[in-house]
Structure 1
Amino acid sequence: MATARTENVGPMVMGLNKQNGQLRGQNKPPAVQPAPQSQGKGLGALQKAGGAPQDGGGIKFGDDWKKSLLLPPKDNRVKTSDVTATKGNEFEDYCLKRELLMGIFEMGWEKPSPIQEESIPIALSGRDILARAKNGTGKSGAYLIPLLERIDLKKDHIQVHVVIATPGRILDLIKKGVAKVDRVQMIVMDEADKLLSQDFVVLIEDIISFLAKNRQILLYSATFPISVQKFMAKHLQKPYEINLMEELTLKGITQFYAYVTERQKVHCLNTLFSRLQINQSIIFCNSTQRVELLAKKITQLGYSCFYIHAKMMQEYRNRVFHDFRNGLCRNLVCTDLFTRGIDIQAVNVVINFDFPKNAETYLHRIGRSGRFGHLGLAINLITSEDRFNLKAIEEQLVTDIKPIPSSIDKSLYVAEYHSSAGDENRPF
């Protein structure tokens, strides 16, 4: 949930041990090369955009400011129509602050994605939005860019209130007077289907009651159950509706299943490791206990892996996520804690070691690969008890999860990079 400006926080440093989610096997795999950072990275990607130009690089009239940009390597991977089917708009078309534009381009964000084209001008106009778009297509940028544009650094009060916390914690800060939100003009709810579920909707409505009456509400999600519709009717004023999802499935992600017994799962996983060209993989289990047991098994097989789950201390979860994102390990075992709002573009393989119970969880899990329209692979280990859930999920998502072939075509999930001179190819 995005709702305030916060003070800068220093870096967190901690020791590493077997208990903090980082296990290392005997045979360390080759170092992972993280993908060039692209769209959908979230608030951290644009943090500096709200600040002043650096090192006296003030912009003078007539300056060719683009010449001074420090641009990352160009991302030449193949992308699906989820992010390429645009109207041809440019970020400069939205009359954004120069510093914000510089931050956008220096993160490698070249052109707006479809959800950003639809959302940014409407959000800047102050109108409420209900936006539905697939995971990994740039939803974060769709609201962060107008959010940063509308913040007035000269005003010393919470304007769009960027807090990273559970709704209960935010409400507690408000009631204690720590977070004064009476002048907040914008509230953004990412993963709105979760925030407006039965578990949180009462807290969200309580938070909204403390905001200015003319506040703007932006809702973003891949799925919108009936609970969201009820909230929209009650709290949104003539919202602008954006729907870029005719179906729930993700383009660019190839899905297979392997029919196994419970005792065969680890052997099957070992076989996948030996045959697939994995850049980075995320492996999902249905319980915290199974996460730790599987992580231990993987290290015994000789592979390095990290693990993460909700029962770990937050500081350890932060370190695991940071190090995995930076490519220090090839495999991550986790629970569904890791299914939402996580953007690691180097992940090209997702393995459901334990098959999920519902279509929504399945959709968010496989969405961790194939970020921002790139290619990805989803492998599901299916036991006899899972076959009914498999059929139900196929029907609900209108998709076909096929039996795994003896050999998987690498072009389905391994992107090829081309040098700028065009004379060299190397696998991602």
Structure 2
Amino acid sequence: MAQQVASTNADSGEDWKKGLTIPPKDTRYKTEDVTATKGNNFEDYLLKRELLMGIYEKGFEAPSPIQEESIPIALTGRDILARAKNGTGKTAAFAIPVLERIDVSKNCIQGMILVPTRELALQTSQVCKELSKHMGVEVVVSTGGTNLRDDILRLGATTHLVVATPGRILDLSRRSVAKLDQCIMLVMDEADKLLSPEFQPVLEQLISYLPEDRQILLYSATFPVTVKQFKEKFLKKPYLINLMDELTLKGVTQFYAFVEERQKVHCLNTLFSKLEINQSIIFCNSVNRVELLAKRITELGYSCFYIHAKMQQSHRNRVFHDFRNGACRNLVSSDLFTRGIDVQSVNVVINFDFPKNAETYLHRVGRSGRFGHLGLAVNLITYDDRFNLYRIEQELGTEIKPIPPTIEKSLYCA
């Protein structure tokens, strides 16, 4: 089965794109997550003119709260432990100071941004390239699942900043291809995931290649105990930023629909027909269910892509790129797609399968309502999910309400 499931009805053509409304750059449509600022401007940080040009050309008008808190401290060279919600501008919060501190006259790796997934690496490197387009900074992305020889060739040329997944860049460091002895900045995005048991030993080995006077910046929405242990071992008097007075985004309205397992597809069809979906992501708890559901959605007559970790990397890249560019309205995904992926036109997230823990729920729901815009999360809850629903509400300090007969469009559409 192909990674793209094509629909046969009119919805699969180009017509639906005419109604695709990218949220406007206007604070009237944004929530406090990104508008409750101190009123700073990017010029206040005395950034290089070329970097400012990239910032404004990217469409950034003024710093968000996490950017206000993070950028000036990071520019001093101090370690940072930052906790902020998904979709509030974390990528620029670390990318801007990293790019500012790079000296393009030196042909060496001076900054490294580590992320847990290949899709996030591609997205983050693209943001860095766009911000630094006038600076002459050479950004290289290096991830598993791609040709090692290509990475060796890229890193053999001038490289100032590497965006990578941990396993591949450690392999290249061991081969002395990626020389990190002058890499003075290490950023860990989605740090809670990077410090999970599968990644932490790799992280600690990577840090051994860095110079003693390196700067480490950690960013995430959730900080489990492993982050505290890492902080005590590797960070030097880190500056703590916590913008998490509440965990879920203010602009995301959350509902649940109590259904039997056999009713889920019918319920999904009803949601598709009643909601004003710009783009949606539908989450399942297993790879097999992702593919089966994508097939069923197509049979119902809706355009649909799917993505999961067992697909070839080239297919994953194409699906992610095409969905982000608006080639399809709906994407069925495993939890591969919950980390940091930024598609601003997604205004609806549907948990076809309810997640087992609060952390996964938080990251899934954070795919809608990006950067202060409005979003909707609908959870299909079976009898077996009822205790998980209650526990996740308690842990996140949020309320997931029963779905009403009619959902007001103003809750999730600008």
Q: Same fold (TM over 0.5)?
A: yes
> For residues 179 and 371 of structure 1, do their structure 2 counterparts lie closer, same or farther at Cα, with a shift above 3 Å needed?
same
Matched, 1:404 2:399: no
Match of 1:224 in 2: 223
TM-fit CA distance, 1:400: 1.1
Structure 2 residue aligned with 1:280: 279
CA distance in structure 1 between the aligned counterparts of 2:111 and 2:235, rounded to whole angstroms: 17
- Residues 1:22 and 1:180: Cα distance change in structure 2 (over 3 Å): farther
Structure 2: distance between partners of 1:155 and 1:237: 26
What is the correspondence of 1:161-176 to structure 2 with a 5 Å cutoff? 161=112, 162-176=161-175
Aligned ranges 1:378-393 → 2 under 5 Å = 378-393=377-392
Tell me by how many angstroms 1:111 deviates. Answer: 0.2
Deviation at 1:77, TM superposition (A): 5.5
Q: Summarize deviations over 1:62-95 as a string: whole Å, max 9, x none.
A: xxxxxxxxxxx74465111111010010001111
Q: Residue 233 of structure 2 corresponds to which residue in structure 1? A: 234
CA distance in 2, matches of 1:273, 1:309: 22
Q: Deviations over 1:97-144 (max 9, x none)?
A: 111111111111000000000100110100000001000000000000
Deviations 1:324-380 (A, max 9, x none): 111111100000000011000000000000000000000000000000011100000
* Shift, 1:215, TM fit: 0.2
Give the TM-score normalised by structure 2. Answer: 0.85
Q: Residue 203 in 1 paired to residue 202 in 2?
A: yes
**Match of 2:17?**
31
Q: Which deviates further from its counterpart, 213-222 or 18-27?
A: 18-27
5+ long unaligned stretches in structure 2:
113-160
- 2:93 aligned with 1:142: yes
Task: Look up the match of 1:423.
Answer: none
Instruction: Tell me which of 38, 43, 59 is aligned to 1:108.
Output: 59
Map residues 40-51 of structure 1 onto 2, 5 A cutoff.
Answer: none
The answer as to whether partners of 1:32 and 1:328 remain within 8 angstroms in 2 is: no
The structure with the greater share of residues assigned to helix is: 2
Whole-angstrom CA distance in 2 between matches of 1:106 and 1:326:
19
Q: How does 1:46-61 map to 2 (within 5 A)?
A: none
Structure 1 residue aligned with 2:3: 20
Distance in 2 (CA, whole Å) between partners of 1:276 and 1:77 is 23
- Deviation of residue 27 (structure 1)? 2.8
Equivalent pair of 2:281/2:350 in contact (CA under 8 Å): yes
Q: How far off is 1:211 after superposition?
A: 0.4
SS of alignment partner, residue 247 of structure 1: coil
Structure 1 74/379 Cα, relative in aligned 2: closer, same or farther at 3 Å? closer
Matches within 5 A, 1:8-407: 19-28=2-11, 30-31=16-17, 36=22, 74-75=25-26, 78-161=29-112, 162-407=161-406
What SS does the aligned partner of 2:11 have?
coil
User: How many residue pairs end up in the alignment?
Assistant: 363
Distance 1:276 1:36, change over 3 A: closer
Residue identity matched to 1:28: D
Query: Runs in 1 of length 4+ with deviation above 6 angstroms?
Result: none
**1:223 alignment partner, SS class:** coil
Residue type matched to 1:31 in 2? Answer: K
Q: Contact between 1:26 and 1:299, CA under 8 Å: does it hold in 2? A: no
Fraction of identical pairs, as percent? 71
Q: What one-letter code is carried by the residue in structure 1 that aligns with 2:90?
A: K
Shift of residue 163 of structure 1?
3.4
Q: CA–CA distance in 2 between the matches of 1:175 and 1:277?
A: 51
Cα offset, 1:32, TM superposition:
5.7
Q: Indicate if the aligned counterparts of 1:253 and 1:369 stay in contact, CA closer than 8 A.
A: yes
Cα shift at 1:319: 0.9
Give, in whole Å, the separation in 2 of the partners of 1:350 and 1:32: 21
CA displacement at 1:151 relative to structure 2: 1.0
RMSD, aligned α-carbons: 1.4
Partners of 1:380 and 1:81 in 2: CA distance? 24
Question: 1:166 and 1:110 mapped to 2: Cα distance?
Answer: 30
Q: State the distance in 1 between where 2:242 and 2:18 align.
A: 36
Per the TM alignment, residue 399 of structure 1 is displaced from its structure 2 partner at its CA by: 1.1
Deviation of 1:26 (Å): 2.2
Equivalent residue letter for 1:82: D
